[in-house]
Structures are given as structure tokens and as C-alpha cells.
């Protein structure tokens, strides 16, 4: 009888009848607060009307500082609109309101260039609109809420962007390959400063990626992701830019988060330092114990993210921010040689990694619609790794020793001026002082002494500057013009890079955009200090020039409805002055390991072309979906003068994401969410194995036929990801239970060929990496 009664109660809770029956008179509410600013000048806007479209009785007007507060907002998702005379209205749809945390919004409004001052409503839910107003094509705004909701996101912004068109993903790492480019060609930026790879166990499985991001979604704000032809303010990048921001903490109310899951334990807090002065803090700390990722080894990591914000009445706003991580890794070495299967099973590896980026930022808003922003920052990264090789008698010899330390001191300043509703300009300058101390030694063969591969100790400078303008030629045509220049004082190589883009809003639903840019990127400092056997202990790559790339991208955007959008982007990228090995198929465009051991010359080339397509329904009435497709070709020319497929030329990638939310319980205050992602993309590229050379190698190290580099390809890759979550909202507290899974289908990725000791054969080594995460989150 008890069980039957329990089932009836559960059934009632999960049906509309049950929801109606459970309604209570005391409905839980929350506060939505925020600021409205001019998108081009960042100046706060007063007397802006703010209201909920689904609840017209709730509204407010911004004060002299652009601040607004909406109180007693019922829990759930709401649509908010901001309107002001002379500005285009802005709509934020499906804002999630929970019981534990206030919602804070920064709403940018665009001044209307139409002489009649008519109001044009633009839905902010169009995620194709980036935060950067100088972007023309190849840019998308990354929503932090999506990172926690999308299947496969795993609260990791790097994994979330793998759902975007033009990006090819892996399972074992979160390296971002854009249009067939290697992940290490992407630039990571935080608070307008280029930072080292911000991923745990960075550059181990792939250069430029890691296992998961150290940047917490509890601290990150909405950010921009660029896949090509980016604005003039972005230098030192040839494939893409991930421009991330840290949000300010709540300056009126203290809020806390505690989360525990298989991937680690998080503790976050934010709140006011002084309510009177509107100062605030926010931080997130995460810790993981060993072997939580179940990847065959011991993985320990921890990270910290924080930001402290100090507004003043006359001196502008000061912010202190930072992010850091500590990683420790060791293999599960099997000392019994009878259990060894592959030749590399006799290696015992250990590594420690540290990364830090921190800075002080000052923003000063002038009365003439001008903004001066200055940042003084430092970044630090270090790697300490050792690898020993054991023989069948248990004797060990060192095989690798790595000690690298990189410290950058960065001064960056920019001046943004809005001259009128039709003209905004931005000019900036960055000086980066790079200190390095590196020493990499490897044994040429097992049992041989270590030999120096790369060694250097000193400092150099990267100096860059830019200027750009956004001009409204008419109420339908916008022109973006700019130029970027940079100089590396190590060898006095420099570049001058023009950027231009034009956008035509042909109708209220349709727009066209075309952009061109020249882009460049310097190599990692260790490459400049490679020493070879015949170099008399002198660096052989110290005179390397920048890798350069021409970008051309066209964007066609069609709003099928208020909630459904189609975007088509054909593109072409031509790379030149690419470092390669003379008379070899090697090119840094395929670089996947953390070291280079040969002399390089700037004689390589590359070309990438294709089309990216995105069909997206934004979250509306609990349902969203996104279908992305990319068809592309990526080729390179090495020092041998022959065109080859790049390592990352998978030729196609398709993603289907779909999710649904249901409200239930008393007053519909609880939410059940289910999300799925399906990915099918071309298989991994690899070079044919040179069997004879491998068998004759003293260590049986796999040798590849480099004359046919990356000419072979595995069958297409099919991966599914899933996320199920349930949020319970109580008074001032919310509980969320989630189950998130990567690679539910168990697809096996390729890690290279290895010599099998038992069979005497050279076999492809493939392994299925499935990452589950069961978590509980408490917000209070």
C-alpha cells in the first residue's frame, strides 16, 4: 500500500495536473539587477525602460549610473526588454532565475543611426552577435550558461566551442582545431591579456589543449570566440582567438556555491566588499584527488580564479584579477616486464605543471564618450618532467628531462572613443617582456646519455600596436577598418597587418558580411633555442620569422524567425612563411608535441578553405537545438615542396545538439533538463608506417613514411554526449543534481602506432576515453 501511494505521488509531481495541484500561495521570487551601457562607448545610460515581456507588471527605469533593479521576479525563465529614445531596443530571452542567486545583466544598447530615430528591436538571444563591436565575421558570443547546459560542455568553455561550426573536437583532450589548423595556433586571452594555455595537463596529449579548462564557469562572464578574420586589436594569432572575461561579483548580496563531483570539488563565493562604494569580490577554488579521471595514471590538479572590483567616484574603476593552476601527473608504471605489451610500457613518467596569470586593470570613462583602459599583468608557466626507461632486469636509465619556466610582464592600454552614432575608434598598444629559462634533454636511444635539445636563458620583447574604426556608412552598411603591427626584438622581425570588414543589413532578417585580414604568430620560445649536433652548441632557429596568414571570410545570416537563425560562412585562409624542416615534410602547422629538435626555415605554406553552416533554435519554451556542419580541406607544403594533407584535415564535421527543460513541483519552481549531442566527423589522419625502419630502430620507435605524410585516414568518428540535470529551488537555496557524460558510445581515438612486444607487429594504438561526471551543486 505504501509503495502504491508513493508511485501516485511521484506521478502527480511529474504531470501538469500534479503541478497545478501542488501550487502554493507563497511563490518564491528573486531579484534581477544590472546596468545598461552604450555598446560603443561603454558609458552608462540613464532613463532606460526595463521590463519583463512575459510579466508587464514588473519593470523599472535606470538611474543616473545606468543601474536598474527588478524585485520579486518569480523563479523560472523570463524575457527582458530594454528601450530608450534614440537607441535600438534590446531583448534578453529565457533568462534563468533561481532562488539562490540574483541575476546580474550588462545590457548594451546601440545608438540608432536612422535620422527618424525609429526603434528597431534586436533579440540579444542571437548568439551570433559578439561582444566586440568591431567584429565583422567569424565571431560568436560564448554564453557561460550554455557551457553548463550543453551536452559535452562539461562546464568547460574549450569543450563547448567544439559544437560550433568550423571547430573539430577530440574526446581525450579539449584542443581547439579551427578550419584544419593545429590547436596551438589559437590565442587564449583573459581580461585583454594573452595568457598561457589555461588547461589542466596542458600540451601533454596535444599541443595547445589539455584535459579540461582551469577557468571556472562560476567566475567567467560571457566571452567572444573568433574563427577567422578577427578585428585589428587581436595580434599574435593565425587560427582563432578565445577572448574571455571574468565577471564582477555581486556588490549587494553575498552568494556562495559548493559543488562536489567525480571531476573534483568546487567552492565559490561572491559578494560586496563595501556596499557604499559598490566594490565586490568573486572567486572559485577547485581541487581534485588522484585518478579521478580514470585515464590510466595519477592526475592531481587544483585551480583558483578570482576578481576584485573597486569603483571610485572620480578615479575610475580598478580591478585585481587572476587565474592559476597546479597539476601533477605520474604514470601507473608496471615494473613486471612479463606484463608489458607495447614498447613504451617500459617508461615511467612524472610531471608537474604550474600556470598563473594575474593583473591590475584600470578603466576610466571620460565625459566625451571615451574610455581609457590600462592593464599591468604578469603570466607564469613552468614544466618539470622526467621519464625513465627500465630494462627487463629492473634497471632504469633517464630518457627525458625537462625544466622550463616562462614569465611575461605585460603592459597593455587602449583608448576607445565614440565620436558620433556613426563613428567609433579604438587604438591600443601592448608591450610584453618575455623572460625564459628552459632546458630540454633527451636520450637519442635507450641506454644512451641525455643530449641537450633546447636550452636558453634570457629575455626579449614582443611589441604590438593597433588602431581600428567602425563607421556606419548608412543605417544598413557598417565598415570596419584597422591595422595591427608587431615587432619581436629577439631578431627584429616585424609585421604590418591590414584588417577590413563590411556588413550590409539588407533587411530586418537578412545580413551579409565580408572581411579580410593579414595575421601572424611567433613560435614558442623553446623553438628559437633548439640546438643540433652540428650547431656547436648554438641556437639554430633564433632568426625565425612570424608565421603569417591571409584570412577571407563571408557571412550570410538569415533570421528565419525570432528564435531560429541560419548562418552560412564560406572562408579561405592562405598561410606562408611557415617554419618547416628543409627537405622534409615536417611543418609546425602539424605540430602536436611539446618540443621541436630540428633546424627550421620559413619556407612552408598552407591553405584552408571550406564552408561553415549553423542552424540554431535559441532556447524558447524549454526547447533548443543547434545543427552545425563544416566541409573543408586543409593542406600544407613542407620543406620538401610537396602539398600534403594536414594532420587535422578531417574534411567534414557535423554536430546536432538538442535539449529540453521541464518545470515541475510546487509553483513550477524546479527544473528538469535533458541534453544530447551527436557528432560525426572525418577520421584521424596519419602517415604510413615505415615497417623496415621501425624494426631496425634500436628502440623499435615507430618510424613513419614522411614522403606520404598524413595520406592515410581512419574511418569517420561518431561520438555522443549526454547531460541530465535536476534543480530544486528552495527559499534562498538551490540544489542541482547532474549527470554528464562524454563519449557515451565509447569511440576509440588514435594515439599513434606502437611496436607490440608480444606479437612482434606494429599496431595502431587506439583507446576509448569516456569521461563521466556525477555532481551535486549547492547554491546559497
What is the separation of C-alpha 769 from the centre of its chain, rounded to a whole number of angstroms?
Answer: 21
**Could you tell me which of 145, 162, 157 has the C-alpha nearest to residue 215?**
157
d(CA 307, CA 728): 29
Nearest to 440 by CA among 405, 408, 407, 490: 405
Cell 630540454 belongs to residue: 440
Residue 123's nearest CA partner among 618, 768, 627, 519 is 618
- Rounded-to-integer distance, Cα 397 and Cα 731, Å: 62
Rounded CA-CA distance 324/508 in Å is 44
Contacts by residues 721-724 (CB-CB < 8 Å, ≥ 24 positions apart): 721/151, 721/152, 721/676, 721/677, 721/679, 722/151, 722/674, 722/675, 722/676, 722/677, 723/149, 723/150, 723/151, 723/152, 723/153, 723/659, 723/673, 723/674, 723/675, 723/676, 724/673, 724/674, 724/675
Pairwise CA distance, residues 753 & 741, whole Å: 28
Query: Quick one: which H or E segment has residue 657?
Result: strand 652-664
* Distance of alpha carbon 616 from alpha carbon 163, whole angstroms: 12
Residue 307 buriedness (CB in 10 A; 0-12 / 13-18 / 19+): buried
Give the HSE-up count for residue 610: Cα atoms under 13 Å, Cβ half-sphere. 26
pLDDT score, position 13:
37
Show the cell assigned to 43: 558609458
Tell me the C-alpha distance between 597 and 594, whole Å.
Answer: 10
Residue 294 per-residue DSSP state = -
Q: Which residues, other chains included, contact 406 with Cβ-Cβ below 8 Å and sequence gap of 6+?
A: 196, 379, 380, 381, 382, 434, 435, 436, 438, 525
Q: 1-124 falls under which CATH superfamily?
A: Carboxypeptidase-like, regulatory domain (2.60.40.1120)
- CB-count exposure of residue 489 (10 Å: 0-12, 13-18, 19+): middle
CB 49 within 8 A of CB 58: no
Rg of the chain over CA atoms, in angstroms?
27
Nearest to 157 by CA among 225, 204, 103: 225
Q: What is the distance between the alpha carbons of residues 746 and 738, in angstroms, rounded to a whole number?
A: 20
Q: Are strands 223-226 and 264-274 parallel, antiparallel or unpaired?
A: unpaired
Contact between 381 and 355 (Cβ < 8 Å): yes
Three-state DSSP at 693 gives helix
| Burial class of 637 by CB neighbour count within 10 A (0 to 12, 13 to 18, 19+) | buried
In the numeric block, which cell numbers belong to residue 736?
542541482
Task: Mention every residue, 6+ apart, whose C-beta is less than 8 A from residue 321.
Answer: 190, 191, 246, 306, 307, 308, 358, 359, 361
- DSSP type of residue 112: P
Ranges of residues in the chain with a pLDDT under 50 are: 1-25, 116-126, 295-296
Q: Which residue in the block uniquely carries the three cell numbers 572620480?
A: 314
Give 707's DSSP letter.
G
Cβ pair 600, 581 in contact under 8 A? yes
Q: How far is CA 290 from the centre of its chain?
A: 25
State the first-to-last Cα distance of the chain, in angstroms, to the nearest integer.
38
C-beta separation of 221 from 211 below 8 A = no
Q: How far is C-alpha 732 from the chain's CA centre?
A: 32
- Classify 85 in phi/psi space as left (phi over 0), alpha (psi -120 to 50) or beta: beta
Domain ranges of the chain: 1-124, 226-779
The upper half-sphere exposure of residue 547, i.e. CA atoms within 13 Å in the direction of its Cβ, equals 28
Tell me if domain 1-124 and domain 226-779 are identical in fold.
Answer: no
DSSP string across 320-344: EEEEEEEEEEE------GGG--BGG
Give every CB contact of residue 10 below 8 A, 6+ residues apart in sequence.
none
Q: For residues 267 and 26, give the distance between their C-alpha atoms in angstroms, rounded to a whole number.
A: 31
Residue 641 backbone zone (phi > 0: left; psi -120 to 50: alpha; other: beta): left
Please give the DSSP secondary-structure letter assigned to residue 221.
-
CA distance 588 to 575: 12
Which pLDDT does position 297 carry in this prediction? 53
Order of all β-strands in the sheet with 89-97: 59-61, 49-52, 76-83, 89-97, 121-123
Tell me, yes or no, if the pTM score tops 0.85: yes
Beta strands in 391-450 (DSSP E): 396-420, 423-442
Assign 3-class secondary structure to 499-546. Answer: EEEEEECCCCCEEEEEEEEEEEECCCHHHHCECCCCCCCCCCCCCCCC
Cα–Cα distance for residue pair 531/452, rounded to 1 Å: 7
Q: Which fold has domain 226-779?
A: Maltoporin; Chain A (2.40.170)
Tell me the per-residue pLDDT of 664-697, one tens digit each, with 9 for 90 and over.
987 888 999 999 999 999 999 999 999 999 999 9
Amino acid at each position: 500500500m505504501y509503495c502504491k501511494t508513493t508511485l501516485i505521488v511521484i506521478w502527480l509531481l511529474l504531470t501538469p495536473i500534479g503541478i497545478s495541484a501542488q501550487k502554493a500561495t507563497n511563490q518564491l521570487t528573486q531579484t534581477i539587477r544590472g546596468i545598461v551601457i552604450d555598446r560603443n562607448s561603454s558609458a552608462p545610460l540613464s532613463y532606460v525602460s526595463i521590463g519583463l515581456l512575459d510579466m508587464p507588471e514588473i519593470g523599472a527605469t535606470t538611474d543616473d549610473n545606468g543601474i536598474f533593479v527588478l524585485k520579486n521576479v518569480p523563479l523560472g525563465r523570463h524575457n527582458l526588454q530594454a528601450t530608450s529614445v534614440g537607441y535600438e531596443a534590446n531583448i534578453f530571452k529565457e533568462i534563468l532565475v533561481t532562488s539562490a542567486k540574483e541575476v546580474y545583466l550588462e545590457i548594451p544598447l546601440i545608438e540608432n543611426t536612422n535620422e527618424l530615430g525609429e526603434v528597431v528591436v534586436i533579440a540579444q538571444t542571437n548568439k551570433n552577435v559578439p561582444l566586440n563591436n568591431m567584429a565583422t565575421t567569424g565571431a560568436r558570443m560564448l554564453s557561460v550558461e550554455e557551457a553548463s547546459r550543453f551536452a559535452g560542455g562539461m562546464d568547460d568553455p574549450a569543450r563547448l566551442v567544439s559544437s560550433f561550426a568550423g571547430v573539430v573536437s577530440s574526446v581525450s583532450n579539449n584542443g581547439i582545431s579551427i578550419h584544419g589548423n593545429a590547436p596551438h595556433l589559437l590565442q587564449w586571452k583573459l581580461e585583454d591579456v594573452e595568457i598561457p594555455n589555461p588547461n589542466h595537463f596542458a600540451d601533454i596529449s596535444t599541443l595547445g589543449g589539455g584535459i579540461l579548462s582551469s577557468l571556472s564557469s562560476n567566475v567567467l562572464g560571457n566571452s567572444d570566440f573568433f574563427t577567422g578574420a578577427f578585428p585589428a586589436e587581436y595580434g599574435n594569432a593565425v587560427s582563432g582567438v578565445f577572448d574571455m572575461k571574468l565577471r564582477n561579483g555581486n556588490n549587494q548580496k553575498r552568494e556562495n556555491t559548493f559543488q562536489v563531483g567525480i571531476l573534483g570539488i568546487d567552492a565559490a563565493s561572491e559578494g560586496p566588499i563595501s556596499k557604499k562604494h559598490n566594490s565586490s569580490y568573486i572567486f572559485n577554488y577547485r581541487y581534485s584527488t588522484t585518478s579521478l579521471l580514470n585515464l590510466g595514471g595519477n592526475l592531481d590538479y587544483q585551480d583558483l580564479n578570482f576578481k576584485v572590483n573597486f569603483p571610485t567616484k572620480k578615479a575610475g574603476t580598478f580591478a585585481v584579477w587572476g587565474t592559476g593552476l597546479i597539476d601533477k601527473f605520474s604514470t601507473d608504471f608496471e615494473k613486471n616486464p612479463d606484463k608489458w605489451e607495447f614498447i613504451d610500457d617500459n617508461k615511467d613518467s612524472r610531471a608537474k605543471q604550474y600556470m598563473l596569470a594575474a593583473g591590475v586593470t584600470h578603466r576610466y570613462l571620460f565625459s566625451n564618450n571615451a574610455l581609457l583602459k590600462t592593464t599591468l599583468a604578469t603570466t607564469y608557466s613552468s614544466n618539470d618532467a622526467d621519464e625513465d626507461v627500465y630494462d627487463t632486469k629492473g634497471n632504469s636509465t633517464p630518457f627525458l628531462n625537462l625544466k622550463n619556466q616562462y614569465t611575461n610582464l605585460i603592459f597593455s592600454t587602449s583608448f576607445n572613443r565614440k565620436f558620433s552614432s556613426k563613428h567609433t575608434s579604438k587604438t591600443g598598444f601592448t608591450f610584453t617582456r618575455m623572460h625564459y629559462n628552459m632546458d630540454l634533454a633527451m636520450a637519442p636511444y635507450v641506454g644512451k646519455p641525455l643530449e641537450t635539445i633546447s636550452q636558453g636563458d634570457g629575455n626579449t620583447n614582443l611589441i604590438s600596436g593597433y588602431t581600428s574604426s567602425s563607421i556606419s556608412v548608412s543605417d544598413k552598411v557598417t565598415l570596419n577598418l584597422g591595422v595591427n603591427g608587431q615587432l619581436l626584438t629577439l631578431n627584429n622581425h616585424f609585421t604590418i597587418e591590414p584588417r577590413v570588414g563590411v556588413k550590409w543589413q539588407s533587411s530586418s532578417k537578412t545580413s551579409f558580411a565580408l572581411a579580410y585580414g593579414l595575421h601572424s604568430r611567433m613560435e614558442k620560445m623553446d623553438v628559437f633555442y633548439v640546438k643540433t649536433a652540428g650547431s656547436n652548441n648554438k641556437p639554430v632557429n633564433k632568426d625565425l620569422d612570424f608565421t603569417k596568414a591571409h584570412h577571407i571570410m563571408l557571412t550570410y545570416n538569415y533570421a528565419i524567425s525570432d528564435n531560429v537563425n541560419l548562418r552560412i560562412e564560406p572562408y579561405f585562409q592562405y598561410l606562408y612563411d611557415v617554419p618547416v624542416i628543409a627537405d622534409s615534410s615536417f611543418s609546425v602547422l602539424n605540430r602536436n608535441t611539446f618540443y621541436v629538435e630540428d633546424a627550421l626555415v620559413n619556407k612552408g605554406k598552407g591553405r584552408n578553405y571550406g564552408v561553415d553552416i549553423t542552424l540554431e533554435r535559441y532556447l524558447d519554451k524549454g526547447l533548443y537545438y543547434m545543427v552545425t556542419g563544416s566541409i573543408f580541406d586543409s593542406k600544407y607544403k613542407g620543406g620538401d615542396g610537396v602539398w600534403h594533407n594536414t594532420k587535422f584535415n578531417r574534411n567534414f564535421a557535423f554536430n546536432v545538439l538538442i535539449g529540453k527543460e521541464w518545470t515541475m513541483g510546487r509553483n513550477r519552481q524546479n527544473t528538469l533538463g535533458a541534453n544530447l549531442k551527436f557528432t560525426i566527423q572525418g577520421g584521424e589522419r596519419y602517415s604510413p608506417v615505415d615497417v623496415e625502419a621501425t624494426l631496425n630502430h634500436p628502440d623499435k620507435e615507430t618510424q613513419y613514411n614522411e614522403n606520404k605524410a598524413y595520406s592515410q585516414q581512419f574511418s569517420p568518428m561518431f561520438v555522443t554526449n549526454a547531460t541530465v540535470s535536476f534543480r530544486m529551488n528552495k527559499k534562498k537555496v538551490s540544489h542541482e543534481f547532474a549527470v554528464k557524460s562524454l563519449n557515451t558510445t565509447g569511440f576509440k581515438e588514435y594515439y599513434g602506432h606502437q611496436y607490440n612486444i608480444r606479437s612482434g607487429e606494429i599496431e595502431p594504438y587506439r583507446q576509448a576515453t569516456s569521461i563521466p561526471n556525477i555532481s551535486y551543486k549547492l547554491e546559497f
